Amino acid sequence: MFGTAAFEGETQQLDWQANLLLLSSDHHRNTLTTGAAYIDEQASSTSLPRDSLQTTGIFVQDQVVLGDRWSTVVGGRWDEYSLAGTARTYRVTSRYTLVDIGAAIHGSIGTGFRAPAINELFDPNLGNLDLRPEESFGWEMGWEQALAEGNLVVDATYFRNDIDDLVVFQFTGTGVFGGQLFNVESALSTGVELAGSLRLGADTTATAAYTYTDARNRTHGTQLVRRPANKVRLGLEHQFGDSGPLVSLNYQWVDQRDDFDGGGLITRLDEYSLLNATVSYDLSDRLQLFARLDNVTDENYEEVFGFASPRFGVYSGAVLLLGGE
């Protein structure tokens, strides 16, 4: 592997959003949301002149709620990219509650568009100006069921996402950075997620979820790298009294998955487990203190071959609400 060239980037973003309540009654609520965004990205390196990308986007969304049974959200977005061109995307989500049996049917359908990031295009170490934008079409459908007088809620969801021109990085052992970015012409991700929430008491809730994912490179008939087939998540949350701190424990187990090794061949990354904890405390209606402990057991693991992930860390801060009622 040869020496790498320095690459620096800067992003400036301006957002505007407005929410309009069109109708509100005991049985019907309709909220219209619209907005716009402008993003300017600048980048420079020791071997190439300064480059820039601009993105302008507008979106509109309508949320409709009918009584205690049905709600749906319909949204559309238009984006103009200085290099990738024009993108039009949409998303529809809906949920219908079967009150008599304590169940609900939910689903969504939509499209996606991701233009290559500025470093993916212009970084002299790994950039590829021939990268095409990712485009996707996805949908999901699920069933939620309440049991034990509503103390236990279980949910099963099937999902599918078809992706064209997925951007992937592959180590090759040659070149400036030892690898290259390229497009996978056709990819598919399907799977099932099973989730549950159990109220253990007035102040304590336990959650669990299992996700199975089959992610394939349909162009070559192989598995997509860095996509584990199995994931498990467990959580426990407890509120200490009406005005006490809120404490959460979250455990995650990630299965083995394929990746490219330093020579561009397929290797197997080990499974790993993570335990995180959070604590938050409201000093007043406007001031909250919080602390977060990541990777409590100091697990040594890799999400990408050759790149170490963060070990045990402690973070803390405060949230202050200004203005408003």
pLDDT digits (tens, 9 = 90+) for 64-120: 999 889 999 999 999 999 999 999 999 999 999 999 999 999 999 999 999 998 888
62 and 149 share one domain: no
- Of 140 and 309, the structure prediction assigns the larger pLDDT to 140
22 and 105 share one domain: yes
- Tell me the pLDDT band of 127, cut-offs 50, 70 and 90: confident
Average pLDDT over residues 40-69: 89
d(CA 70, CA 144): 14
113 and 155 share one domain: no
Question: Which of these three, 112, 131, 150, is where a domain ends?
Answer: 131
63 and 84 share one domain: yes
Average pLDDT over residues 114-127: 86
Residue 176 is predicted with a pLDDT of 46
322 and 200 share one domain: yes
Residue 246 has pLDDT above 90, yes or no: yes
Of 273, 199, 262, give the one whose Cα is nearest residue 230: 273
Lowest mean pLDDT among 1-5, 8-12, 73-77: 1-5
| Domain range enclosing 213 | 134-160+176-325
Q: Among all chains, which residue has been given the structure tokens 């394929």?
A: 258
- Tell me the pLDDT band of 285, cut-offs 50, 70 and 90: confident
Q: Is 49 helix (H, G, I), strand (E, B) or coil?
A: coil
Query: Half-sphere exposure of residue 98, counting CA atoms within 13 Å on the CB side?
Result: 10
CB 17 within 8 A of CB 32: no
Q: 284 CB contacts (<8 Å, ≥6 apart)?
A: none
d(CA 19, CA 59): 12
Residue 151 has pLDDT above 50, yes or no: yes
- Tell me the pLDDT band of 1, cut-offs 50, 70 and 90: very low
11: in domain: yes
Total domain count, the chain: 2
Global confidence as pTM: 0.86
